[in-house]
Amino acid sequence: MDFDISDEQRRFQGVVRSFVDDAIRPNVEAWDRSHELPMDAVRQMAELGLFGLPFPEEFGGSGSDFLTLCLAIEEIARVDSSLAITLEAAVGLGSMPVYRFGSESQRKELLPELAAGEALAAFGLTEPGGGSDAGATRTRARQDGGEWVINGSKSFITNSGTPITKFVTITAITGEVDGNKEITAIVVPNGTRGFEVGKAYRKMGWHHSDTHELAFSDCRVPLDNQLGERGQGFRNFLEILDDGRIAIAALAVGLAQGCLDESVKYVHERTAFGRPIGSFQALQFKIADMATKVELARTMYYKAAWLKEKESPYKKEAAMAKLYASEIAVDVAREAVQVHGGYGYIEEFDVCRHFRDSKILEIGEGTSEIMRILIARSLGLPEA
Amino acid sequence: MNIVVCVKHIPDPNLPPEMDGTRLKREGVQGVLDPGDEFGVEAGLQLKEQHGGEVTLVSMGPPAAREAITRGLSMGADKGILVSDDALQNADALVTARVLAAAIKRAEFDLVIAGVESTDGYTGTMPATLAEFLDVPMITFVKELENAEGNLKVDRQTADGYHVVEAPLPALITVTAGVNEPRYASFKGIMAAKKKPVDELSLADLGLSGDDVASKQTVKELSPAEERKAGEVVEDDGTAAEKIADFLAEAKVI
Ligand SMILES: Cc1cc2nc3c(=O)[nH]c(=O)nc-3n(C[C@H](O)[C@H](O)[C@H](O)COP(=O)(O)OP(=O)(O)OC[C@H]3O[C@@H](n4cnc5c(N)ncnc54)[C@H](O)[C@@H]3O)c2cc1C
């Protein structure tokens, strides 16, 4: 057994950490207040090659692997969850479906720009009427000559309205097979007539991540924009979500680690009753628990990524990693605020933002309930 | 243009230093490429991008110092030389310069770049000594540089402005921290660094003997720097401006 990341991964982790300290940490509070994706930061992340990490060089990537992407996401999330989810959604949800399910010409045409971080893509599965029940898709695409005609809407779509968003891949009903909906994935370029990006949501956290509602009315795209096989849209997206869950676990671990680091620092500095508060056993125990949870969550996402890398089944482990990491992230953030006392409730303190940013982790890319359903199912429990 | 950049592997300056008697502990502690040297590497890479050629990193240090070279190679340098020998454990700046000179002279070079001083030892004497051993002109505190047909033209930082200085190549320059923005290594750069050649040399490989590297300096004593005193707080009771002006006048600032 070997629990170590490679020397190269460790070096790259160090590079991302210094980038985060130099370029992100000093600005994160202002960005959070602005509620706008800082495009300069996105450009710098692109220059670092972050958006192309897991893709082969022939598509403009750097030929690393999924774990390396997760390591980068974790490093960014120690400080800035909004930029971490921007990266996660861009690579994991925007580019990955093209890489995994696209035709050779789609990959050649679409991937290089995405891998270079010059353009972003989004992934539209959730609808106003349902996210967990992804089969509840209502958006329809009907064939008309050489085109798909799309009608419907999507909610909460990350990266769908940035100045460099190139397209959104959506799921739509394209027919019926044996009484079941046939769901197909279709690439819809931003700017297509009939495709409207709604105004940005006001969110509890992830303030400077870009999230919009999308509306399609008689929106026409060429039939060639179909991504993957007809009728496989749903299955393919579920596969993409398995990977996404490992990446969300990495993001959650980063947030929790950031909370732990801030707490350890603070209990040295702050005094009460004539002693550093870190000398009180009540806080020592809290911090020991935080550290234990962070370590366990990290070990689990490493394991899920490792299983994926060696092409073993990892669906259950990905769900466990996502479930555990997102729930401990919320716990650790809440306790970090507690350790900071009143200052923890004030926006100048990182843990305040981390607490707001943590909650979505139990919801996005599959809620905790859905994770438990998947895990229970993998144990062969009777279905409802 | 053949550019040589001196790089040093030092204990991470962000961590509290660990001492071993009068010596800074270098083994078994977290080490990094001296942050001051990153500016030298960046300056070298920029010159290479303008004029072509090669950037060679040279370092003297224990085997772990290879990590500092790897870091520079990940940023884009082409190859490295690491001089490592047990006999060098207590090397002073004079010995370091002699060893680096011997390593650098093994190949043709146009320009040697070093930091003004290292972040751990801070003697600031090594580059000038090295220039002497290499028998080349030296320009210190370079903030801007340009290679105009074999002639080096630099802006040299001074207390109240800068000098414009020219020197024929080969030459040695020292660059101040902050002259450029050292690039981050990309993942591709890190992978490529694995395949770049690093020569690991001993003293014997350089034709040097134990006598050549006997340090002339010894550190007699070491004491912690005086802690900075807390500043004086002036409460504004209407006379604060006056008090601050008096303070500044006393300090001969105004
Ligand atoms: C900031 C943000 C960004 C997002 N980005 C994207 C994106 O880029 N692309 C995208 O497609 N989606 C995105 N989403 C949507 C997200 O994935 C969904 O919100 C999530 O999957 C939950 O779906 P829902 O909101 O419809 O909740 P519902 O499905 O309505 O769930 C409501 C509650 O019911 C529970 N529940 C539902 N079904 C069951 C069941 N069978 N058993 C037990 N409990 C159940 C849920 O766990 C939850 O607690 C984003 C959401 C947010 C907030």
Per mean pLDDT, which range of A261-275, B123-137, B214-228 is the poorest? B214-228
Distance between B68 CA and the closest CA of chain A, angstroms: 11
pLDDT of B174 > 90? The answer is yes
How much is the mean pLDDT over chain B? 90
B70 and A15: CB-CB below 8 Å? no
Q: pLDDT at position A314, please?
A: 96
Ligand 1 midpoint to CA A7 (Å): 38
Which residue is listed with tokens 């790089």? B7
Query: What is the C-alpha to C-alpha distance for residues A211 and A201, in angstroms, rounded to an integer?
Result: 6
- Residue spans of alpha helices (H) in A270-367: 281-309, 315-339, 350-358
The phi and psi torsions of A324 (rounded to 5 degrees) equal -65, -50
Query: What is the C-alpha to C-alpha distance for residues B7 and B35, in angstroms, rounded to an integer?
Result: 10
pLDDT of A384 > 80? The answer is no
The set of catalytic residues of A is 365
Chain A residues within 8 A of B191 when measuring between CB atoms: 8, 62-64
B187 and A19: CB-CB below 8 Å? no
Question: How does DSSP assign A224-287, residue by residue?
Answer: GGEESSTT-HHHHHHHHHHHHHHHHHHHHHHHHHHHHHHHHHHHHH-EETTEEGGGSHHHHHHH
Give the torsion sign (CA, A11, A13, A16, A17): negative
Q: pLDDT at position B15, please?
A: 86
| Ligand 1 pocket, residue A156 CB under 6 Å | yes
Query: What is the C-alpha to C-alpha distance for residues A213 and A160, in angstroms, rounded to an integer?
Result: 8
Q: pLDDT at position B169, please?
A: 92
| Ligand 1 pocket, residue A190 CB under 6 Å | no
Give the torsion sign (CA, A36, A351, A371, A373): negative
Q: pLDDT at position B107, please?
A: 94
| Ligand 1 pocket, residue A56 CB under 6 Å | no
The arithmetic mean of pLDDT across residues A75-89, rounded, is: 98
- Using CA positions, which residue lies closest to atom 2 of ligand 1? A156
Q: pLDDT at position A93, please?
A: 96
Q: Ligand 1: which of A95, A242, A251, A367 to mutate, most ligand atoms within 8 Å of CB?
A: A367
Query: Does domain B2-250 bear CATH number 3.40.50.620?
Result: yes
Higher pLDDT, B214 or B7: B7
Name the CATH superfamily for A121-230.
Butyryl-CoA Dehydrogenase, subunit A, domain 2 (2.40.110.10)
The arithmetic mean of pLDDT across residues B142-147, rounded, is: 86
Q: pLDDT at position A242, please?
A: 93
Q: pLDDT at position B95, please?
A: 93
Query: What is the C-alpha to C-alpha distance for residues B234 and B47, in angstroms, rounded to an integer?
Result: 50
A15 and B194: CB-CB below 8 Å? no
pLDDT of B39 > 90? The answer is yes
pLDDT band with cut points at 50, 70 and 90 for residue A233: confident
Return the structure tokens found at A82: 């909004």
Return the structure tokens found at A3: 């629990």
| Ligand 1 pocket, residue A365 CB under 6 Å | yes
pLDDT band with cut points at 50, 70 and 90 for residue B146: confident
Which three-class secondary structure state does DSSP give residue B153? strand
**Residue among B74, B186, B191 minimizing CB distance to A48:** B186
Ligand 1 midpoint to CA A42 (Å): 26
| Ligand 1 pocket, residue A134 CB under 6 Å | no
Q: pLDDT at position A130, please?
A: 85
Ligand 1 midpoint to CA A372 (Å): 14
Q: pLDDT at position A3, please?
A: 87
- Distances, alpha carbon A266 to alpha carbons A30, A53, A270, A293, in Å: 22, 35, 6, 19
**Beta pairing class for B79-83 and B54-60:** parallel
Q: What is the pLDDT of residues A11-20, one digit of tens each?
A: 999 999 999 9
Ligand 1 midpoint to CA A92 (Å): 17
pLDDT of A240 > 80? The answer is yes
Which residue is listed with tokens 């669906």? A315
How much is the mean pLDDT over chain A? 96
Q: Where are the domains of chain A?
A: 7-118, 121-230, 235-378
- Classify the phi-psi angles of A138: left when phi > 0, otherwise alpha if psi is within -120 to 50, otherwise beta: alpha
Higher pLDDT, B144 or B197: B197
**Residue among A8, A19, A47 minimizing CB distance to B190:** A8
Per mean pLDDT, which range of A36-40, A111-115, B92-96 is the poorest? B92-96
The arithmetic mean of pLDDT across residues B114-129, rounded, is: 88
| Ligand 1 pocket, residue A367 CB under 6 Å | yes
Atom of ligand 1 at shortest distance to CA of A124? 11
Q: Does B13 touch chain A (CB under 8 A)?
A: no
Among candidate residues B109, B103, B153, B146, the one with its CA nearest the CA of residue B1: B109
B186 and A64: CB-CB below 8 Å? no
A63 and B184: CB-CB below 8 Å? no
Ligand 1 midpoint to CA B177 (Å): 50
pLDDT of A36 > 90? The answer is yes
Listed by number, the residues of chain B in 72-91 with a beta carbon closer than 8 Å to a beta carbon of chain A are 74
- Distances, alpha carbon A323 to alpha carbons A249, A259, A303, A328, A366, in Å: 8, 19, 14, 9, 9
Number of alpha carbons in the 13 Å side-chain half-sphere of residue A99:
27
The phi and psi torsions of B10 (rounded to 5 degrees) equal -130, 160
Give the torsion sign (CA, A286, A256, A367, A162): positive
The arithmetic mean of pLDDT across residues B118-132, rounded, is: 89
Return the percentage of chain A with pLDDT > 70, whole number: 100
Ligand 1 midpoint to CA A367 (Å): 6
CATH architecture for residues A235-378: Up-down Bundle (1.20)
A68 and B187: CB-CB below 8 Å? yes
Which residue is listed with tokens 């001074």? B158
Which residues lie across from B84 on neighbouring strands? Answer: none
Q: Which of B190, B191, B194, B196 to probe by mutation at the A interface, max A CB count within 10 Å?
A: B190
Q: Does B186 touch chain A (CB under 8 A)?
A: yes
Q: What is the 3-state secondary structure (H, E, C) of A109-169?
A: HHHHHHHCCCCEEEEECCECCECCCHHHCCCEEEEECCEEEEEEEEEEEECCCCCCEEEEE
pLDDT of B112 > 90? The answer is yes
DSSP B162: E
Among candidate residues A88, A64, A65, A62, the one with its CA nearest the CA of residue A75: A88
Q: Does B187 touch chain A (CB under 8 A)?
A: yes
Q: pLDDT at position B14, please?
A: 85
Distance between B78 CA and the closest CA of chain A, angstroms: 18
pLDDT of A134 > 80? The answer is no
| Ligand 1 pocket, residue A132 CB under 6 Å | yes
Q: Where are the domains of chain B?
A: 2-250
Q: What is the pLDDT of residues A262-308, one digit of tens each?
A: 999 999 999 999 999 999 999 999 999 999 999 999 999 999 999 99
Name the CATH superfamily for A7-118.
Acyl-CoA dehydrogenase/oxidase, N-terminal domain (1.10.540.10)
- Using CA positions, which residue lies closest to atom 25 of ligand 1? A131
Q: Which of A9, A10, A15, A73 to probe by mutation at the B interface, max B CB count within 10 Å?
A: A15
Q: Does B195 touch chain A (CB under 8 A)?
A: no
Q: pLDDT at position A86, please?
A: 98
- Cα A177 vs. chain centroid, distance in angstroms? 32
- Distances, alpha carbon B17 to alpha carbons B23, B25, B67, B119, in Å: 10, 8, 19, 12
Return the structure tokens found at A105: 């010409």
Q: What is the pLDDT of residues A353-382, one digit of tens each?
A: 999 999 999 999 999 999 999 999 999 998
Chain B residues within 8 A of A53 when measuring between CB atoms: 187
Q: Does A46 touch chain B (CB under 8 A)?
A: no
